[in-house]
Amino acid sequence: MDLNPEILRLYLVTAPTLCPGPALVETVTAAVRGGVSFVQLRDKDTTTRDRIAAASALKDALSGPGVPLVINDDLEAAVVADVDGVYIGQDDVTSAIARQRLGRDKIIGLSCEVPHQVTAADTQLIDYLGLGTVFPTSTKTDHKPTIGLDGLSEMVRLAQLPTVAIGGLKKEHAVGVRRTGCDGIAVVSAICGQADPQSAARDLFRAQHPTTERRS
């Protein structure tokens, strides 16, 4: 599908340790009110059945504002829950299999940690790329060495698809990420780990649009 890069602008990745159980829907709903434009359900340590249940609850909550929902890694859960798509890593199911199972109208995101993965991404099968890990993060410890903003800039330059920066990103990084040309910033604890997810999302959104805020 032809993905509008704007929907990647403020991208929330959920963390079960930071918004467990019933807090998941509440946290995500508040974050969307604050400006989150895309949601990825990520829970590596649960079952497909539980991911389907969580995705179904989120899908209902997000249907009103029309914010896309994808599931990290679990293609079966994405198919059964009929969410907007899936986000896959380099060692997960192939993009060809994901596209075959999901059809042309669903979203497929691909994680890219090094430049050659960006250039190898099949633009006929993939809709967007997650680039990073940009900075160290406690929510994913099994990543390749961090790339920093310079590495992010290089990968954005190589990309032929919309991009979102992932890994250790906070409000203070928003302007730097935009300057690389990356379409969006993905966060986890910067929203899920906050007492007021709506305000945290709003602050991140404003940090991405400093000129607009100064004019207002």
Q: Judge if pTM exceeds 0.85.
A: yes
Residue 8: closest CA among 127, 160, 173: 127
Residue 212 has pLDDT above 60, yes or no: no
Contact 135, 167 (CB under 8 A): yes
pLDDT of 141 reads: 61
Phi, psi (deg, nearest 5) at residue 128: -155, 165
Contacts of residue 45, defined as CB under 8 A and 6 or more positions apart, other chains included, come to 16
The DSSP letter of residue 8 is G
The DSSP letter of residue 90 is T
- Dump pLDDT digits (tens) for 159-211: 999 999 999 999 999 999 999 999 999 999 999 989 999 999 999 999 987 76
Kind and range of the H or E run holding 35: none
Average pLDDT of the residues in 109-127: 97
Cα–Cα–Cα angle for 201, 38, 80, nearest 5°?
Answer: 135
For 179, counting Cβ atoms within 10 Å of its Cβ (0-12 exposed, 13-18 middle, 19+ buried), the class is exposed
Kind and range of the H or E run holding 187: strand 184-187
- Counting every residue, how long is the chain? 216
List the catalytic residues. 42, 111, 140
- Dump pLDDT digits (tens) for 150-161: 999 999 999 999
